[in-house]
Amino acid sequence: MALGDILNIGPQGSGAPGGPVPSQGMPAPAPQAPARNISQEWTDFLNQPGNRAAMIQLGVNLLQPIGLGQSTLGHIGQAIGAAGEAKTRVLADEAKNSQTNRELDIRQQEADARSQAVGMATAVQRKAMQDANSFEAFVLKIAQSEVESDLTLQTTLSDAIANIYADPSKVAQLQQQWIQLRSAPTGGLAAAVPGGGQAPQPAPGMPKVGETRVYQGKTYRFMGGANTQANWQVVQ
């Protein structure tokens, strides 16, 4: 038997008859996990709310001598409990400060809105004084009527004007009424009741005893005295 047959060498000089056998490739190396940055992880841990205070409190308690009758594990457990209490206090303080900041933001927004309302009311009143037939004069009449009809006496003229301009649909409706009043032969806006074309009634000033008004679906009767909410009674 030929030596080639014994060694199973093919014509291509490989170990398999008839040619080389494809070589088995090495498996691809598994992707390596990124190296941990212990220093950054520790920094992130300390930056979390309350963790720094907890670690300080833990160290302070561990440095205290072990009390009489207390085991080492008990001393460590007491230190851990004190650290947890320190973190809880810090979180509570931060929550309280956050609530205070939100309240301050709300008050600032209310103050800004109030300032804008006053500025708008001032501009409307100035324009109404310059031109009694202007749209601003018409809006001023509407706002004054809303203030007079508020039995709670809480609506100011500035608020009423701001509420009108805050509603685009209401502004459009009033503009349409204003245009109709200007074209109607009723003596102009100075002699017009807001929302209609009739001559105005004299300003009520002080309501008369027994006078009734409707507010928010309820009828109230004025019982006399100062024009305050206490002197208006609901009609049964």
The whole-number pLDDT of residue 200 equals 36
Asked if residue 196 lies in contact with residue 145, where contact means CB atoms within 8 angstroms, the answer is no
- Claim to verify: residue 195 and residue 236 sit in the same structural domain: no
- Claim to verify: residue 78 and residue 113 sit in the same structural domain: yes
The whole-number pLDDT of residue 197 equals 38
- Claim to verify: residue 137 and residue 115 sit in the same structural domain: no
The whole-number pLDDT of residue 201 equals 38
Q: 185: pLDDT confidence band, cut at 50, 70 and 90?
A: low
What six digits make up the tokens of 11? 């014509």
Select from 94, 119, 144 the last residue of a domain. Answer: 119
Least confident interval from 47-56, 124-133, 179-188: 179-188
pTM check: above 0.75? no
Q: Is residue 90 part of a domain?
A: yes
- Claim to verify: residue 59 and residue 114 sit in the same structural domain: yes
Task: Return the HEC string of the chain.
Answer: CCHHHHHCCCCCCCCCCCCCCCCCCCCCCCCCCCCCCHHHHHHHHHHCCCHHHHHHHHHHHHCCCCCCCCCHHHHHHHHHHHHHHHHHHHHHHHHHHHHHHHHHHHHHHHHHHHHHHHHHHHHHHHHHHHCCCCHHHHHHHHHHHHHHHCCCCCCCHHHHHHHHHCCHHHHHHHHHHHHHHHHCCCCCHHHCCCCCCCCCCCCCCCCCCCCEEEECCEEEEECCCCCCHHHEEECC
Asked if residue 5 lies in contact with residue 15, where contact means CB atoms within 8 angstroms, the answer is no
* Residue 226 structural domain: 206-236
- Claim to verify: residue 183 and residue 234 sit in the same structural domain: no
- Claim to verify: residue 80 and residue 108 sit in the same structural domain: yes
- Claim to verify: residue 174 and residue 226 sit in the same structural domain: no
What six digits make up the tokens of 171? 């502004």
Q: Is residue 147 part of a domain?
A: yes
23-29 own/partner pairs: CB under 8 Å, 24+ apart = none
Average pLDDT of the chain to the nearest whole number: 75
Select from 93, 119, 145 the last residue of a domain. Answer: 119
The tens digit of pLDDT for each residue in 21-47 reads 555 566 666 677 777 788 888 888 878
Q: Is residue 135 part of a domain?
A: yes
Q: Is residue 74 part of a domain?
A: yes
User: Which strands, in side-by-side order, build the sheet including 232-234?
Assistant: 212-215, 218-222, 232-234
Q: What percent of the chain has pLDDT over 90?
A: 0
Q: Is residue 147's pLDDT more than 60?
A: yes
The tens digit of pLDDT for each residue in 59-72 reads 888 888 888 888 88
Q: Is residue 162 part of a domain?
A: yes
Vertex 160: Cα angle to 156 and 166 (nearest 5): 140
- Claim to verify: residue 138 and residue 98 sit in the same structural domain: no
Select from 90, 119, 148 the last residue of a domain. Answer: 119
Q: Is residue 21 part of a domain?
A: no
Asked if residue 174 lies in contact with residue 164, where contact means CB atoms within 8 angstroms, the answer is yes
The tens digit of pLDDT for each residue in 187-205 reads 444 444 444 433 333 334 5
Domain total in the chain: 3
Distances (CA, A) of 61 to 54, 65, 81, 166, 173: 11, 9, 10, 60, 73
Q: Is residue 192 part of a domain?
A: yes
The whole-number pLDDT of residue 194 equals 43
Q: Is residue 125 part of a domain?
A: no
Question: CB atoms < 10 A from the CB of 20, how many?
Answer: 11
Residues in the chain: 236
